[in-house]
Structure 1
Amino acid sequence: MRKDSNLLKYTYTLKFLRDEEGDYRYLRFKVKRGTKSISISYEYDEECIVDIGVFGPGSLDLIRANFRGWSGSNRKRIYLGEKWSTPGYIAEPIEEGVWHVILGLYKIPEDGCKVHVNIMLLEDSVHSISYVSEPVNSATCKRSLQEGGWLKGDLHVHTMHSDGDSEIHEIVEWARHLGLDFIGLTDHNTISHLREIRSKELLVIPGEELTTYRGHMNVLGVNKWVDFRIKCENDLLRILSYINREGFLPIVNHPKSLGPKWEWGHIEEIGFLEVWQGIWEFNNYESLRLWDMLLSKGFHVFAIGGSDVHRLKTLDFVFKLSTPTTWVYTEKLDVAEILAGIRNGKVVITEGANGPFINYYLINRGKRFRMGDSLTPGKYKLVTYVERGKGSKLRIITARGIIYMTDITENHASHSIDVNLNEEDVFLRLELVNPGPYTDELYSKEIAIKALTNPIFIIP
């Protein structure tokens, strides 16, 4: 490190080795009283990927750290100030004391990686008119429901506050155009986007995507930063305990090839899994197979969908807003009620906002059981409802595999069949799929799922 007191500048040149990949390193710098803003720039060898963020004065301990921002490897120059900060960073007064730049060593080649970091403390404020900073005030949308109903949205959306290409108001406008009721904004490792949430026409669920080097996890309903610096199993368990204590909702994201995969385990404890990311053909059959395996073992894990959209302004055939669409049954259009519906398993995932929709219930002696409920083995009548599903096939699935399949010949169809469920079934869920030669295979790459439900559980 070289410090130039006249220019209030710190310069670091570092070399990281391959065995440091996946770890974090901290660069210390002292901020003097009267500093109005901080400018940070960095560069590294082309073969590497090094992420960057900033912590303010105070502890660096897990959960307790004074988070000021994170931008991954998307920005090579960062500004922090009281009135405005680079998207991904918190606009707050610049405190006197010891600060830290955090470097995330994501990809380090065999011959190592050289990194240069420059930090400048400025006496002038940084201003921009491109972004707003306002408190979160979208916990309740002006729309309300007098009775329970199915609401549709996208729970995995990125903005310019991480690696997305669009501002929040642009995303909200497009979501409204698609007819969505809600979206979940889940930028990578930051909550700077929360201050821009101000929509009264569309419910915006505040979230954060914990982007670790061994998998990603969305956290919905956040009102404060959740630490992403998970380096071991104990760190994960501490973070999960914190999430549950705060009443947030965790979802393991895209556990499949090119996801990237989730390597931390404990999905059965987390309880929510993004089974459908982007278009179905993008390896989602792997996530479906994992989900069914967990269900077959008796774990009560609920499926969620999310587009993981980053680009609204460029053509993307894989990640598009509302592909897939997540439907939640809820009593009211607000964040708490949407999250409650998810926690109760009242969720259907469809290929799009106007795609086929499916719902069902089981009935025995006048008692109805719906998604997320548990029942004992026995004889039941299964009643299904399909909308906009003409030309698809309905599949009924338990731990024993596909137990029933039929063609849907009308756009609005209802079916009723008798089923005898035993302990070996463990769960029951439904799918709508495209017809074809592979419809009797559960996890074929050739099968495109159009809609799927969450399960009812069969318990001894």
Structure 2
Amino acid sequence: MPNSGFPSVRAPGRGAGWYRGDCHVHSVHSDGKLTPEQLTADARAAGLDFIATTEHNSVAAHGAWQRHAAEDFMILLGEEVTTGAGHWLALGIAPGQVIDWDHGVGDALIDRCLERVHESGGLCVVAHPYAPYPSGSFMFSYQGLDVIEVWNGLWTSDRPWNADNEAALAEWGRGLAEGVRAGRWRPAMGNSDTHLVGQIGIPHTVVLADSLDTAAVLAGLRAGRSWIAESAGVDLSLRAVAAGRSAGIGEHLETSGEPVVVHAHIRGVQSGIVSFHTDRGIVHREGLPESGAGGVVWRMTSRAAAFVRIEVRHPHGHMAALTNPVVLV
């Protein structure tokens, strides 16, 4: 690692593959209770490959993370831009780059801030759009933002899923059909919003990246080649096949008008319920065995949907995992 005072933008990792990361984390450098050292140890114990430091309206802690990066663990630099009309995450910004938070609905200042992040190669994420506290609900337009945090773990320490996340997911799901058909849909992601011990990685996002590298991880998130897990104990895959071709999460499948067969494989959700969603809503449900591991196959005509995605819930209805869509063209 270069002795720049900041963590490297890349780690050797495992090459191309699926990497688990929590991109909304607070330490003692803002309103969190844990040090970077504690957060790093807890993140690695939780099975994560990377985290993002996102202190409120501050990047003063960027230099505190250098010694916690490792060959198999990456620290992504960011900021939680905390305004009076909602919060958003600036991920992958330059070391020490501060994104202004003094903007409100209607003043157009947010557009300039989003541009600054994009000019740095970063990603702009709507944070907890239905958070139940003053300024927590996101009141800005989503225009110019890249990804939506549909699952935020801060208020779920006593349960893995709540009504605020359900509302965020429903809103994202309603907009997905129009977005896919217009060719500009926004992917979903999930983060813990860690402030306290025991929160890191609950939930987190699993992203397909060419390497454990900031640019590669952000590219995977931007493209929606990702899914959300409540913990590293949950694993899944989703693949659609048609006309001798196949595509996975966040990818496009050229169907040539042929029937589509969708394969889902899940592990770690005992007696879970798998639901298949398209632009027509829920089209299929099927249960998993008590072991929590199993495969589900669903067949459809290619003209019946513009995309397919899955959700995996526990028997009591709380979310265990959900994916971005496979787009059918």
Q: Name 1:295's counterpart in structure 2.
A: 176
**Where do 4+ consecutive residues of structure 1 move more than 4 Å?**
none
Q: Over aligned residues, Cα RMSD in angstroms?
A: 2.0
Larger radius of gyration: 1
Question: Is 1:273–2:148 an aligned residue pair?
Answer: yes
Number of equivalent positions = 306
Alignment of 1:126-145 (within 5 A): 135-141=5-11, 143-145=12-14
User: Of 134, 140, 158, which aligns to 1:264?
Assistant: 140
Query: How far apart, CA to CA, are the structure 2 residues paired with 1:331 and 1:194?
Result: 25
User: Of 197, 200, 222, which aligns to 2:69?
Assistant: 200
TM-score (norm 1): 0.63
Question: Is 1:214–2:94 an aligned residue pair?
Answer: no
Amino acid in structure 2 at the alignment position of 1:371:
I
Q: More strand by proportion, 1 or 2?
A: 1
Query: How far apart, CA to CA, are the structure 1 residues paired with 2:146 and 2:216?
Result: 18
Unaligned runs of 5+ in 2: 154-159
CA distance 1:367–1:376, shift in 2 (3 Å) = closer
Q: Name 2:156's counterpart in structure 1.
A: none
Would you say the 8 A contact 1:280–1:351 is kept in 2? no
Q: Name 2:218's counterpart in structure 1.
A: 339
Query: How far apart, CA to CA, are the structure 2 residues paired with 1:200 and 1:155?
Result: 15
Q: More helix by proportion, 1 or 2?
A: 2
SS at match of 2:78: strand
Question: Is 1:360–2:230 an aligned residue pair?
Answer: no
Q: Name 2:284's counterpart in structure 1.
A: 404
CA distance 1:217–1:257, shift in 2 (3 Å) = closer
SS at match of 1:368: strand
Alignment of 1:15-414 (within 5 A): 135-141=5-11, 143-146=12-15, 148-198=16-66, 199-201=68-70, 202-223=73-94, 224-231=97-104, 232-258=106-132, 260-265=136-141, 267-278=142-153, 279-281=160-162, 283-298=164-179, 299-312=184-197, 320-354=199-233, 356-375=234-253, 378=257, 379-409=259-289, 410-414=291-295
Query: How far apart, CA to CA, are the structure 2 residues paired with 1:456 and 1:270?
Result: 21
Query: How far apart, CA to CA, are the structure 1 residues paired with 2:219 and 2:175?
Result: 22
Would you say the 8 A contact 2:245–2:253 is kept in 1? no
Would you say the 8 A contact 2:242–2:254 is kept in 1? no
Larger displacement relative to structure 2 (410-419 or 190-199): 410-419
Q: Name 1:450's counterpart in structure 2.
A: 320
Deviation at 1:233, TM superposition (A): 4.1
SS at match of 2:55: strand
Would you say the 8 A contact 1:306–1:325 is kept in 2? yes
Amino acid in structure 1 at the alignment position of 2:321:
A
Query: How far apart, CA to CA, are the structure 2 residues paired with 1:435 and 1:412?
Result: 14
Q: Which has the higher contact order (CA 8 A, sep 6+)?
A: 2
Amino acid in structure 2 at the alignment position of 1:237:
D
Deviation at 1:271, TM superposition (A): 2.5
SS at match of 2:232: coil
Calculate percent identity across the aligned residue pairs.
28
User: Of 292, 297, 308, which aligns to 1:416?
Assistant: 297
TM-score (norm 2): 0.87
Query: How far apart, CA to CA, are the structure 2 residues paired with 1:257 and 1:345?
Result: 23
Amino acid in structure 2 at the alignment position of 1:391:
S
Would you say the 8 A contact 1:134–1:196 is kept in 2? no
Deviation at 1:165, TM superposition (A): 1.3
Would you say the 8 A contact 2:150–2:169 is kept in 1? yes
Deviation at 1:399, TM superposition (A): 2.0
Query: How far apart, CA to CA, are the structure 2 residues paired with 1:137 and 1:271?
Result: 24
Would you say the 8 A contact 2:88–2:125 is kept in 1? yes
Query: How far apart, CA to CA, are the structure 1 residues paired with 2:302 and 2:280?
Result: 11
Unaligned runs of 5+ in 1: 1-132, 437-446
Query: How far apart, CA to CA, are the structure 2 residues paired with 1:274 and 1:166?
Result: 23
Would you say the 8 A contact 2:22–2:192 is kept in 1? yes
Would you say the 8 A contact 1:268–1:301 is kept in 2? no
Query: How far apart, CA to CA, are the structure 2 residues paired with 1:178 and 1:156?
Result: 15
Give CA deviations for 1:379-423 in whole Å, capped at 9, x if unaligned. Answer: 211111112233101100112111011111144322333112436
